[in-house]
Chains A and B, each alone.
Chain A
């Protein structure tokens, strides 16, 4: 009714495409979303080829990851939404359990313990939490009166805080931020009252000091300090930021050209193929390249929001909106940190940074989005 009314006001995105619509419904896909994701991923592979020192094997491996991620997405898309809702809390609890396991028997790298090794296959359970969190909170809240009352907000916060702390302990600041935001944003979309939000904001400010003092690891503190004063340690902690800013700035409007980025090709840029890949892009394709990338992302986000808007019930809306927003947080944190706007917290650039786990979890998220988008409409409300 009112949803339908709203949609009628957006004619091009309406339901006037009978045959394609039926196809999408049947196979639980969203062709526009897939097209945008494909475009972004291909762009990513092109940048990655340059960023990895023109290593074809690297690109091939990443392409394989993307195909696996695509498969994962399509598989997830087939799961009926009501099944997701029913099993959300179990999925969540199971993931929390695995996170505890990581802390106990996890595999470490660079002073952090993030990985679980099962039969030679290493995976990062915190990635699962990026999906489990919004599903669980949405499932919880969608069964309550909305906007949520204080008690339900509190319970939701407990659901958010437990895995977040587990991930902070690994320690993995970047992922914990993403996980927490994917849960909190559900609360926000559910209609969390503004007074809570404002209150929480001030509470957060007040908690900065104890957080700094007791929670953050030295390397995390160094990263924050480095952000505000990268010159302080030019060859150490500040190196990454100085070099990535130099890469970005020297790219100029139209860039130095593909494979021509001296900062990246000459190894000045650390992590050029993972977290700092956007600096390579900015160096070689310039501001135009950045605009294209951000444009693609914006289209994906708009598509996600539309799916959320069109969803038939609160659960679908909340989950879709949360996944979409988390996707945006990914982008903002990564693109911001590479440009020296935000602390370097180790968030990959979605769909582009090299690495298997991240892209699979992101694409699985879009799978959920597609499941919601193509959920069979009930005739009546």
Chain B
């Protein structure tokens, strides 16, 4: 040690050290310079770039979905509202490993494979970046708690309260109000640029019924807010906000009490009921039974549920009153009768002999009356109405011919869509020579006239059309467009006149009287419902032969037999002296219009008139 020291040259060591220190000092100075240059470059030269980047980083434009408009019945009863529901949604951009996250979520809460499928569907649709995609709706308390506990390993997973459509009366209004559902690929395919904006933040869209028809009005306008978020997407602060404009509320003509009465009166049978306010064309009740619970569709219906609905023999998803096309049967006789009177083919004194059948001149074929032994030797129009004599009408139709019948019937709305504010309405068939050539490739045969007059053959009508034409009778020729919605927001929807049929008063009087006798006359086909009536009902029964089973599938034989029976129909308005309400009832495979369909109408009339116009006994609600 000391030897080593002895040889050390301290001065040289110091000199070397000093030179090295200078080198290092220069090096340090240079490197410090490099750092300063670098920061100068970032902070001064490129400041603008990074400042913009930083702003973009923290500020996100978020859409605020508007609150969907509510739907009320005429009494202010809420038929469609929005309920807060906890929704689990995922922001793809913030999730590292999506599959792992979904797997974890499946373990934490009840997420079905179809939820996952729907999630992926929506993920692959066009959407804005960082938009949350719902995975599960209606989380319960336990699930929310479980998600909260695991939040630390669920980046990009959000639980938030969203408003979800709810239909408090479920089945009762499914076919009128309809439902909203998740925006599907087909919906998106119809979207234009504005729609993408309109629906940002909104996950549901009206699929059917009023929800679809009034979609724009109910939807409202989307709002926006700029929010400051952290890197994990948590919103820290709202910077500015354009509030959404909530959708407008709808008030319907519909009366929940009538709807309930009508549904109850159907007593579990299949069929449809439409009740119209003859003064406004407002739809007071519209029933298609069996029905379904629209709430099932709101957040996505499960495959099993949908399958059950879709394959049911009773086709509950089928909206019978606008899509069901039934032979009108004898319910058209008032219109045919008026046509005969108007065109002076017959007068009210004209009579025919009814031996139980009718034979066209030069034809061996017998056209049978529904009553085998006939209605007697001298049947005039009134008796033919009251007893529903077919032979009289065969004779009338033969004399009148298809052209006059078609033209006259069309003015009562037969064979055309009524224009009701519910989508997917069908037009039915009100035949003409033209129509037959086009549709069947055949000329019009004289026998076709006879079938047409009793609403058989090719004639198909929807229950709504029957109600509309009956209402047009009740107003003495003023055909109003049926409307479900009474007012949008605060703005009333005006009644719309589609046609005015001008006839002689005596003809109207005669037909009103005849129709009233159907119910009140001792031989009236619907006299069974007259007991206890303190107002007069003018109506017409009908029985429609089932030509084909709608959407025939593999029915077991017993069901097949049952479904081959005739449909029972009844159309009516009341009170006869001051008509307020027109009703059309069809009960599938119930055979007797008088026995089954008419009582349904009676119950509706009672419910509507007793309280509102007769002031009398039913005294329940104010």
Chain A residues lying within 8 Å of B57, measured Cβ to Cβ, are 243, 246, 262-263, 266, 268
Residues 318-338 of A at the B interface (beta carbon under 8 Å): 318, 321, 325, 328, 332, 335-336
Interchain CB contact (< 8 A) of B43 among A144, A146, A251, A308: A251
Q: Are A146 and B44 in contact (CB under 8 A)?
A: no
Q: Are A294 and B36 in contact (CB under 8 A)?
A: yes
- Between A246, A282, A309, A336, the greatest number of chain B beta carbons within 10 A of the residue's beta carbon is seen for A246
Closest chain B CB from A225 CB (angstroms): 19
Q: Are A290 and B21 in contact (CB under 8 A)?
A: no
Q: Tell me whether B363 is interfacial, beta carbon within 8 Å.
A: no
Residues 136-169 of A at the B interface (beta carbon under 8 Å): 143-147
Q: How far is the CA of A325 from the CA of B23 in the complex (A)?
A: 12
Q: Tell me whether A12 is interfacial, beta carbon within 8 Å.
A: no
Closest chain B CB from A315 CB (angstroms): 11
Given A191-B17, A191-B20, A332-B31, the answer on whether A262 and B47 have CB atoms closer than 8 Å is no
Stretch in B1-9, B247-255, B287-295, B521-529 with 4+ CB within 8 Å of A: B1-9
Q: Are A249 and B42 in contact (CB under 8 A)?
A: yes
Stretch in B224-232, B570-578, B595-603 with 4+ CB within 8 Å of A: B224-232
Q: Tell me whether A351 is interfacial, beta carbon within 8 Å.
A: no
Given A246-B57, A266-B229, the answer on whether A145 and B7 have CB atoms closer than 8 Å is yes
Q: Tell me whether A380 is interfacial, beta carbon within 8 Å.
A: no
Chain B residues lying within 8 Å of A321, measured Cβ to Cβ, are 17, 20-21, 24
Closest chain B CB from A234 CB (angstroms): 11
Smallest Cβ-Cβ distance to B42: which chain A residue: A249
Q: Tell me whether A364 is interfacial, beta carbon within 8 Å.
A: no
Closest chain B CB from A53 CB (angstroms): 10
Q: Tell me whether A43 is interfacial, beta carbon within 8 Å.
A: no
Residues 264-321 of A at the B interface (beta carbon under 8 Å): 266-268, 270, 282, 286-287, 290-291, 294, 298, 301, 305, 308-309, 313-314, 317-318, 321
User: Chain A interface secondary structure, helix, strand, loop or mixed?
Assistant: helix
Chain A residues lying within 8 Å of B47, measured Cβ to Cβ, are 249-250, 252-253
Chain B residues lying within 8 Å of A328, measured Cβ to Cβ, are 28, 31
Q: How far is the CA of A263 from the CA of B55 in the complex (A)?
A: 9
Q: How far is the CA of A328 from the CA of B12 in the complex (A)?
A: 26
Chain A residues lying within 8 Å of B32, measured Cβ to Cβ, are 294, 298, 332
Q: Tell me whether B46 is interfacial, beta carbon within 8 Å.
A: yes
Given A146-B13, A305-B25, A308-B21, the answer on whether A339 and B230 have CB atoms closer than 8 Å is no
Q: How far is the CA of A313 from the CA of B9 in the complex (A)?
A: 11
Residues 25-53 of B at the A interface (beta carbon under 8 Å): 25, 28, 31-32, 34-36, 38-40, 42-44, 46-47, 49-51, 53
Q: Tell me whether B559 is interfacial, beta carbon within 8 Å.
A: no
Given A287-B39, A309-B21, the answer on whether A246 and B228 have CB atoms closer than 8 Å is no
- Between A248, A309, A336, the greatest number of chain B beta carbons within 10 A of the residue's beta carbon is seen for A248
Smallest Cβ-Cβ distance to B8: which chain A residue: A145
Q: Are A147 and B43 in contact (CB under 8 A)?
A: no
Interchain CB contact (< 8 A) of A266 among B24, B42, B43, B228: B228
Q: How far is the CA of A370 from the CA of B558 in the complex (A)?
A: 108
Q: How far is the CA of A145 from the CA of B35 in the complex (A)?
A: 37
Q: How far is the CA of A251 from the CA of B48 in the complex (A)?
A: 10
Number of interface residues of B (CB under 8 A): 46
Q: Are A249 and B228 in contact (CB under 8 A)?
A: no
Q: Are A317 and B17 in contact (CB under 8 A)?
A: yes
Given A2-B11, A250-B53, A339-B42, the answer on whether A290 and B36 have CB atoms closer than 8 Å is yes
Q: Tell me whether B502 is interfacial, beta carbon within 8 Å.
A: no
Q: Are B20 and A188 in contact (CB under 8 A)?
A: yes
Closest chain B CB from A296 CB (angstroms): 12
Q: Are B13 and A339 in contact (CB under 8 A)?
A: no
Given A268-B230, A290-B39, the answer on whether A262 and B54 have CB atoms closer than 8 Å is yes
Q: Are B50 and A245 in contact (CB under 8 A)?
A: yes
Chain B residues lying within 8 Å of A143, measured Cβ to Cβ, are 1, 4-5
Interchain CB contact (< 8 A) of A294 among B18, B35, B54, B230: B35
Q: Tell me whether A45 is interfacial, beta carbon within 8 Å.
A: no
Q: How far is the CA of A328 from the CA of B26 in the complex (A)?
A: 13
Interchain CB contact (< 8 A) of A249 among B5, B12, B51, B230: B51
Q: Are A301 and B14 in contact (CB under 8 A)?
A: no
Q: How far is the CA of A176 from the CA of B47 in the complex (A)?
A: 34
Q: Are B28 and A191 in contact (CB under 8 A)?
A: no
Q: Are A267 and B231 in contact (CB under 8 A)?
A: yes
Closest chain B CB from A34 CB (angstroms): 21
Q: Tell me whether A112 is interfacial, beta carbon within 8 Å.
A: no
Interface, chain A (partner B; CB < 8 A): 2-3, 6, 143-147, 185, 188-191, 243, 245-253, 262-263, 266-268, 270, 282, 286-287, 290-291, 294, 298, 301, 305, 308-309, 313-314, 317-318, 321, 325, 328, 332, 335-336, 339, 341, 381
10 contacts between A and B (CB under 8 A): A188-B20, A249-B51, A250-B47, A252-B44, A262-B57, A263-B54, A266-B58, A290-B43, A305-B24, A305-B25
In the complex, besides A313-B10, A339-B35, 14 extra interface pairs with C-beta distance below 8 angstroms are: A245-B42, A250-B51, A250-B54, A262-B55, A266-B230, A268-B57, A287-B43, A308-B17, A314-B8, A332-B32, A332-B35, A336-B34, A339-B39, A341-B35
| 5 nearest CB pairs, A to B | A249-B50, A250-B54, A267-B230, A191-B16, A249-B42
